[in-house]
Amino acid sequence: MSDFNVGFVIFPGMTQLDFTGPFEVLSRLGTPPSLSAPSPFPDAKTHVIAKTRLPVMSDRGLGILPSCTFQDCPPLNLICLPGGAGVVDALADDETIDFIRREGERADYVTSVCVGAFLLGAAGLLRGRRATTHWAYVDLLPRVGARHEKARVVRDGNVFTSGGVTSGIDFAFAIVAELAGAEVAKAIQLAIEYDPAPPFDAGHPDKASEAAIALMMSRNETARANLRQALDNRSAPTSG
């Protein structure tokens, strides 16, 4: 079996859990060097990709070290785009968008978490697709040619988009189940004890209080405006 290359594209200002949640799940497809038990998908390899090999700072100040760059990463079977405030600057970076487009067009699976969906959209990978993103930004999906579908994880062909932050863990389990079977996915879920029991049932606007929704929206007003402007800039015709 040839390698199955899973690639996470990271950039300054990303939300680390958008990346580390699905990374934790998908990296367990292969057998870690410390374990002798065989894996049903032993040739899976996980790559952390950035423009350079310098540490990349998340939107909360956590530094993450890439394992390869746009120039030296292998062809990807799965590409994943996290979200975060840094999506605004990434949208303006042609090198980043071109890499996403190139790898996404040939990947078996094209995936995103939260507002990472807009990076897929800017690369033309969501045009005419059903998709989701963080609930506070779903109204912007038509700007990249996508149709919003209300779900935590949305699949349209080989494209998986997921909602805000923690939902990336769920799409990763869906991928594992497809690649290696439901029992492997369940075993990984058990291994990481993914058994959510939050103290508040407020993780979606359908459940949250009006006060919580208003507070969250007020805290994200600037971020929404910045993303909307970045999408407008990306779609605006260039002069000359």
Distance CA 168, CA 58 (A): 16
| Contact between 167 and 113 (Cβ < 8 Å) | yes
Angle between helices 221-235 and 210-219 (to 10 degrees): 50
Q: Is there a catalytic annotation at residue 114?
A: yes
Structure tokens at 79: 């590409």
Angle 4-130-146 from CA coordinates, rounded to 5°: 105
H/E segment holding residue 113: strand 109-113
CA 17 to chain centre: 10
Which residue matches tokens 């949250």?
208
Identify the active-site residue in 68, 73, 80, 114.
114
Active site residue ranges: 114
